[in-house]
């Protein structure tokens, strides 16, 4: 459920934020909400850790095999 919030912010900052929101084709409220969600939300690592699977390397893909070996995956 959405709730109303009153903020007191410098006029120049509001102008910049509104211009940014317009450029991003979103609302100022949505920008603020996204920032608030980032404060206590899970990090990128927490959200995505373990979700990606490494492809089976092609024996002819020397770059991929080098990187897998370098970072301890093979």
pLDDT, tens digit, 9 for 90 and up, residues 4-41: 999 999 999 999 999 999 999 999 999 998 888 888 77
* pLDDT given at position 9: 94
Distance (Å, rounded) from C-alpha 18 to C-alpha 11? Answer: 11
DSSP state for residue 43 in the 8-state scheme = P
Domain residue ranges of the chain, discontinuous segments joined by +: 7-41, 50-74
32-71 tens-digit pLDDT: 988 888 887 777 787 888 888 877 888 899 998 898 889 8
Distance (Å, rounded) from C-alpha 12 to C-alpha 74? Answer: 54
CA distances from 39 to 7, 29, 44, 72 (A): 17, 16, 12, 33
Q: What is the dihedral of CA 22, 24, 30, 34, to 10 degrees?
A: -140
């Amino acid at each position: 459920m959405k709730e109303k919030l009153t903020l007191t912010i410098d006029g120049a900052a509001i102008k910049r934020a509104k211009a940014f929101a317009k450029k991003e084709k979103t609302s100022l409220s949505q920008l603020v909400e996204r920032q608030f969600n980032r404060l206590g939300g899970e990090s990128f690592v927490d959200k995505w850790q373990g979700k990606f699977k490494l492809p089976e390397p092609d024996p002819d893909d020397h770059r991929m095999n080098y990187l897998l070996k370098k970072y301890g995956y093979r």
